[in-house]
């Protein structure tokens, strides 16, 4: 079953959301409207919350998780993802904050407490270390991720376009389920 409760926490699903049958959404997870969760993706909100904004897409094989409060972490870290975000295939997004209209490249890893401001493009395979802040309007690449250059206006437009295209695609999948 793709949607599971954990203890007393049940995922909250917005309007017109697509969750592939092979994806797993567990616990304290809130999905906004027009979100798409693609095959073999895992969203595990078991020890903190996961919140995903409207129009965000989480592509195949991605893992989204959180950090609990405990002996080595004074406070837990939830996962907060803004609206219109594209999370590429096989990304790991862990206990961090991602602003609106970001692109997380294929295979990228974002660690606890990191912050991506709005309109950030994170290259494929990049690693964002714990607590690092990525400034709005830039491309970041590498491991650890470093600011490469400002985004062109056309790239900022692409970030919004990507979200719209995935909304159209998930709508086609939803029609097939009817």
| Residue 154, SS3 per DSSP | helix
C-alpha span between 168 and 55 (Å, rounded) = 10
Q: The pTM is what? A: 0.96
Number of Cβ within a 10 Å radius of residue 76: 15
Contacts of 161 (CB under 8 A, 6+ apart): none
Consecutive 10-residue averages of pLDDT for the chain (178 residues): 92 98 97 98 97 98 95 89 98 98 98 98 98 98 98 98 98 91
In the chain, domain spans = 3-177
pLDDT for residue 39: 97
C-alpha span between 100 and 25 (Å, rounded) = 21
> Both tokens of residue 14?
């917005």
pLDDT for residue 109: 98
CATH 3.90.1150.10 fits 3-177, yes or no: no
Q: What is the DSSP letter of 78?
A: -
């Amino acid at each position: 079953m793709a949607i599971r409760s954990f203890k007393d926490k049940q995922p909250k699903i917005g309007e017109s959301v697509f969750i592939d049958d092979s994806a797993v959404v567990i616990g304290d997870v809130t999905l906004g409207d027009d979100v798409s969760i693609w095959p073999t993706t895992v969203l595990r909100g078991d020890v903190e919350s996961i919140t995903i904004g409207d129009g965000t897409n989480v592509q195949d094989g991605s893992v989204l998780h959180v950090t609990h409060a405990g002996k080595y972490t004074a406070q837990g870290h939830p996962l907060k993802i803004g609206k219109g975000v594209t999370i590429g295939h096989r990304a790991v997004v862990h206990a961090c904050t991602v602003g609106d209209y970001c692109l997380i490249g294929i295979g990228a890893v974002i660690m606890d407490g990191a912050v991506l401001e709005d309109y950030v493009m994170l290259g494929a395979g990049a690693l964002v270390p714990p607590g690092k802040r990525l400034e709005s309007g830039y491309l970041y690449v590498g491991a650890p991720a470093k600011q490469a250059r400002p985004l062109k206006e056309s790239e900022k437009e692409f970030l919004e376009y990507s979200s719209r295209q995935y909304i159209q695609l998930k709508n086609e999948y939803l029609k097939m389920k009817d």
